[in-house]
């Protein structure tokens, strides 16, 4: 019997609602991934990756899992790890919010901070060092683990199609962190509705995908400053950049105008989605993701 499928937590992940935002063009539908038990879209990816790890015999009481994270993957892993009896060690850039650190430690995870100047690459490097120093430890490696996009191919994508029904989906807009969400959902939507435009969102200050230039930015959760293996650019039709300030402004607007208490990367997604919506007719729709909620960003917003 699968330990993952036996967990009550497992059955709380997914089946999230979406919220419509009317625009002068197509309406924008925001899928509320903050409703997941760990508070973010990363619950899906971690569940997918742990399912594959279990199939490999890696999930056992007391085992050590080490993972680099900007926060949400770590929170989801710490949550599932607590329920599975795993020792969770996370490496994270020191620039991530204080709230994220506190949530991770509340779940009992061990946290190692890496220099902010090194971005996620520094967290990945330190993760590799810990793995080499810790016999029997394993990593999910969210940036290349096929369980990450797979989870979105079998849950998020089909859910969006079901919620849309016979209605048109003109575009799907998602920020790129690990590439799992946009790749997994993008493949499903294109297979079912070939005319869907898949739009990647990245920080204006770090336009790696659009201009090949990485830089410092403040949109936590996207823009890892390297191109992740899980990013399938063959499904991406367009790349849109959003500044850190615009992402923060839209996150505040979502809370104050729509009552959607959303994080900074959600602000970036919605900002980009609203631009794309102006290019589509009112009877179409743009779908995007609420990556997480705003309570992990109060100190930086």
d(CA 6, CA 248) in angstroms, rounded, equals: 39
Asked if residue 259 belongs to a known ligand binding site, the reply is no
List active site positions. 42, 265
**C-alpha closest to that of 143 among 69, 209, 93:** 69
Residue 264 · residue 297 · CB < 8 Å: yes
Beta bridge partners of 289: 31
Q: What is the pLDDT of residue 300?
A: 86
Which of 225 and 3 is assigned the larger pLDDT?
225
Half-sphere exposure of 124 (CA within 13 A, CB side): 13
d(CA 248, CA 297) in angstroms, rounded, equals: 10
Q: Tokens 């120093």 — which residue?
A: 133
Structural domains of the chain in order of their starting residue, each with its CATH number = 3-35+145-296 (3.40.50.1100), 43-133 (3.40.50.1100)
d(CA 269, CA 292) in angstroms, rounded, equals: 11
Which of 119 and 127 is assigned the larger pLDDT?
127
Q: Tokens 């992940």 — which residue?
A: 13
d(CA 94, CA 100) in angstroms, rounded, equals: 11
Asked if residue 57 belongs to a known ligand binding site, the reply is no
Q: Tokens 């430890």 — which residue?
A: 137
Question: Is pLDDT of 236 > 50?
Answer: yes
Asked if residue 179 belongs to a known ligand binding site, the reply is yes
Q: What is the pLDDT of residue 2?
A: 67
Question: Is pLDDT of 229 > 70?
Answer: yes
How far CA 176 is from CA of 45, 72, 206, 266, in Å, comes to 14, 14, 12, 12
Asked if residue 180 belongs to a known ligand binding site, the reply is yes
**What is the percentage of the chain residues whose pLDDT exceeds 70?**
99
Average confidence score pLDDT of the chain: 96
Question: Is pLDDT of 119 > 90?
Answer: no
Question: Is pLDDT of 1 > 70?
Answer: no
Q: How far is CA 240 from the centre of its chain?
A: 17
Give 160-211 pLDDT, tens digit per residue: 999 999 999 999 999 999 999 999 999 999 999 999 999 999 999 999 999 9
Give 270-281 pLDDT, tens digit per residue: 999 999 999 999
Q: Tokens 């960003």 — which residue?
A: 297
Residue 149 · residue 183 · CB < 8 Å: yes
For residues 237-259, give the mean pLDDT. 98
Q: Within 10 A of 258 (CB to CB), how many other CB atoms are there?
A: 14
Q: What is the pTM of this model?
A: 0.95
Dihedral of CA atoms 49, 266, 70, 228 in degrees, nearest 10, equals: 60
d(CA 246, CA 259) in angstroms, rounded, equals: 18
């Amino acid at each position: 019997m699968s330990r993952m499928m036996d967990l009550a937590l497992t059955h709380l992940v997914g089946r999230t609602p979406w919220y419509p935002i009317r625009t002068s063009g197509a309406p924008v539908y925001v899928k509320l991934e903050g409703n997941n038990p760990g508070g973010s879209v990363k619950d899906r990816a971690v569940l997918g990756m742990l399912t594959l790890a279990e199939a490999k015999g890696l999930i056992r009481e007391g085992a050590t899992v080490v993972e680099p994270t900007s926060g949400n993957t770590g929170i989801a892993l710490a949550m599932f790890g607590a329920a599975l009896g795993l020792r969770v060690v996370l490496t994270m850039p020191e620039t991530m919010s204080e709230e994220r650190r506190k949530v991770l430690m509340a779940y009992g995870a061990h946290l190692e901070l890496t220099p902010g100047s090194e971005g996620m690459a520094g967290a990945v490097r330190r993760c590799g060092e810990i793995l080499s120093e810790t016999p029997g430890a394993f990593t999910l490696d969210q940036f290349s683990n096929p369980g990450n996009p797979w989870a979105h191919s079998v849950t998020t994508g089909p859910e969006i199609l079901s919620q849309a029904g016979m209605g048109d989906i003109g575009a799907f807009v998602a920020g790129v962190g690990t590439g799992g969400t946009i790749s997994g959902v993008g493949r499903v939507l294109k297979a079912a509705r070939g005319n869907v435009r898949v739009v990647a969102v990245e920080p204006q200050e770090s336009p790696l995908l659009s201009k090949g230039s990485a830089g410092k930015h403040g949109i936590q959760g996207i823009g890892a400053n390297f191109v992740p293996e899980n990013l399938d650019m063959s499904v991406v039709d367009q790349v849109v950049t959003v500044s850190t300030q615009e992402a923060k402004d839209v996150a505040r607007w979502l809370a104050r105008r729509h009552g959607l208490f959303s994080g900074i990367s959600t602000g970036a997604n919605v900002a980009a989605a609203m631009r794309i919506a102006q290019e589509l007719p009112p009877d179409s729709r743009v779908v995007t993701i609420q990556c997480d909620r705003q309570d992990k960003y109060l100190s930086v917003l």
